[in-house]
Structure 1
Amino acid sequence: MPYPFKLPDLGYPYEALEPHIDAKTMEIHHQKHHGAYVTNLNAALEKYPYLQGAEVETLLRHLAALPADIQTAVRNNGGGHLNHSLFWRLLTPGGSQEPVGELKKAIDEQFGGFAALKEKLTQAAMGRFGSGWAWLVKDPFGKLHVLSTANQDNPLMEGLAPIVGIDVWEHAYYLKYQNRRADYLQAIWNVLNWEVAEEVYKSA
């Protein structure tokens, strides 16, 4: 939905991902961090009514066309809103913990199986210096790739469709895991819902 953007409901309680992701982290991450991105994105667009009918995806794809004074705000906060909106869906409790359907077939063909994909995504997440995301994306030709982006940049800014995103900002894990990003990344595989990822893949 376009402006005014709203913080999406998780659809599950903050404690639903325990013990892998603690309830307090989920609450702060969703309410405070994602909430701030939504507030700041709306503020950036407030004085530009002609942009208020655009979806956030459109704004991010066409950053260079936006007024110069809001490009950075839209990039950071629009990206933060879009990235987290996907992240919460992917963390939905239940569902398959391994790829299914068409996405599983593509992963098997292009990476040699789920274990190889996990290794590549973990490497991308560990290799991201500072804050950012690790992604499984689909290119316009239907091929899958693993990459990472800095800060709240979204792959669609590069013409790629995000399928799975893993948040490696410290606010995603620091209360429980402190500086142990590797432990957080090991745990997150227990709460990723690959049935949702399949839906995202088929609609990308």
Structure 2
Amino acid sequence: MENLIQQAEQVNYHFVNLPTGSQFKVFNQLDNQKHMCNFFVHKSDIYKHTTLSNKVRVGDNFISVGKKDIRVTKTDPNWFNLGVRVFGTYHIYYADGTRIKATGWDAMIKTNMYKFHHLNTLRRQFEKWQAIEPRLRKFKNREEFLADIDKKYQTELQAMAKQKAEYQASIKAKHSATHANNHNRENNSLVDNYNTVYEKNKCDPPKMSEEELSELLVELDNLD
């Protein structure tokens, strides 16, 4: 069973040895006999270039790819599979106007095509969600949807922080009031004790010892 799982995980890619001595992962392969990586590309990122090739926008840069390696997906005519041969030769056009020639594996690294593919995969997935969930159709793209979610989340955090502060303030006020009541109750108890002793002994000499009387007077002097 474990071997079957490992085989299933490796179906979509394989590794090749590069002239540099390192290995390169052939990503998202459609044919394991070809050293070709495949990337999702929206039709809006594909431009006419020559008779045999198209320019494909990858982030801020472009790469020229043979038309035979750009094929529409089976599930959505707006999306294409862009095949880049690991040992093929490609021209890269940078945003500053610079043009270089690079081998396929190096071109994929220089244009960061893995990140480009990952973002397009998420974009495609969001479009599928929109197709089945009408509430998502008000958003132009996945980024706008995530920004809306983040805004609502931040609003909830602020509301929670406000509730927490109000709760802490009420607890503090309640604690202060309770402390004041207890303090007043203690003071009143001392006065009651003194009045009781006074009423009891006002006609008779006090029966308290000098030490007890001194302590009581000190306590009375310390009353707020």
Quickly name the TM-score band, shorter chain normalised.
Answer: under 0.3
Q: Which has the higher contact order (CA 8 A, sep 6+)?
A: 1
TM-score (norm 1): 0.22
TM-score (norm 2): 0.21
Structure with the larger strand share: 2
